[in-house]
Amino acid sequence: MADIMASNLIRQTFRTDKLPHIWCQGCGHGVLMRAAAQAILNVGFDPDKVCIVSGIGCSSRAPGYMNYNTLHTTHGRAIAFATGVKLAKPELHVIVMTGDGDAAAIGGNHFIHAARRNIGITTIVFNNSIYGMTGGQYSPTTPMYDTATTAPYGNIEQTFDLCKLADASGASYVARTTAYHVPQAIKIFEKALLNKGFSVVDAISGCPTYYGRKNKKGNAVQMMKWMKDNSIDFKTAEKMTADEIKDKIITGEYKNAPAPEYCEIYQKEVIDKVLKGDAI
């Protein structure tokens, strides 16, 4: 499946007349978008039943290029809009494409509550550790002491670990991948899409324009190389000390624990019971 030609993939899943995209050269977002498109194709969803929702940010521009039912909403609110779409029409495959700021800062509340409900939405966070769209301000995933335009003396805030946050909030599928590890990203996206409940993929992206330049992490190629050289999987990480994993990207499946999905419970435990007259 994975060897479908790129051009074929693009014809099948993209709005080719909307390309080229707005992203800078070397941005990881395009790689992740392509991997997500490949995964949607691979799992065989009916494209008319796929709905992609985003908030505001560079990452949130992705759905506009993709040939599905696409909804570009307000900053931080993608998951809340998606919750309405999904509950109103559970047969839709609802996917959220969002940024680290969109999902974890302004939209943090929606993120944890959607996870708590285990509603059938797959959330892909294009995590570039920075606010790209507004020109490089620090985000909840900017590493401590890195610099950003609003942290000229270094960022003194702790970072969110989005996998731990999603897990603790109740998401039933949680994983991390990077824009360098494309075959892994495709596999993880597929599994996230096939999980019936709330899935979260923390997809590490690179922003050479703002994050890279500000923090002397080099150009696009060097940032990709950094992802390659610094990623380890969760199993390996388990055997390492806190100090050893400090600057690593820990990738792979963090949690795969299927659990009853919100819309199905609503149908079964609320509507069906009320209609049968045997609600509590």
Ligand X SMILES: Cc1ncc(C[n+]2csc(CCOP(=O)(O)OP(=O)(O)O)c2C)c(N)n1
Query: In this complex, which beta carbon is closest to another protein, that of residue 51 or of residue 171?
Result: 51
Collapsed DSSP state (helix, strand, coil) of residue 96 = strand
- Report, in Å, the least distance between residue 263 CB and another protein: 8
Torsion of CA 210, 216, 221, 223, to 10 degrees: -80
Near ligand X by CB under 6 A: residue from 69, 92, 102, 123: 102
Residue 58 in the binding site for ligand X (CB under 6 A): yes
Closer of 3 and 91 to another protein (Cβ): 91
Closest CA to 36 of 120, 123, 111, 131: 123
Taking the complex as a whole, the smallest distance from the CB of residue 105 to another protein amounts, in Å, to 14
Alpha carbon distance 160, 140 (integer Å): 6
Nearer to another protein, 236 or 264 (CB): 264
Asked if 134 interacts with ligand X (CB under 6 A), we say yes
Is-contact 51 95, C-beta < 8 A? yes
Q: Using the rule CB under 8 A, which residue among 58, 71, 171, 188 binds another protein?
A: 71
Residue labelled with tokens 């999603």:
166
Burial of 44: CB neighbours in 10 Å, binned 0-12, 13-18, 19+:
exposed
Q: Provide the mask over 173-192, with x wherever binding to ligand X is found by CB under 6 A and - wherever it is not.
A: --------------------
For residue 275, give both structure tokens.
């209609």
Q: Which residues contact 180 (CB under 8 A, 6 or more apart)?
A: 224, 227, 228, 231
- 135 versus 183: smaller Cβ distance to another protein: 135
Helical ranges in 14-61 per DSSP H: 29-43
**What's the closest the beta carbon of residue 206 comes to another protein, in angstroms?**
25
The region of 67-75, 128-136, 166-174, 185-193 touching another protein under the rule CB under 8 A is 67-75
Interacting residue with ligand X among 34, 75, 86, 181 (CB under 6 A): 75
C-alpha to C-alpha distance for 10 and 168, rounded to whole angstroms: 36
Q: Which residues here bind another protein, judged by CB under 8 A?
A: 18, 47-49, 51, 53, 63-64, 67-74, 77, 80-89, 91-92, 109-110, 113, 266, 270-271, 274-275, 279
Task: Give the footprint of ligand X on this chain (CB under 6 A).
Answer: 56-59, 75, 99-102, 126, 128, 130-134, 139
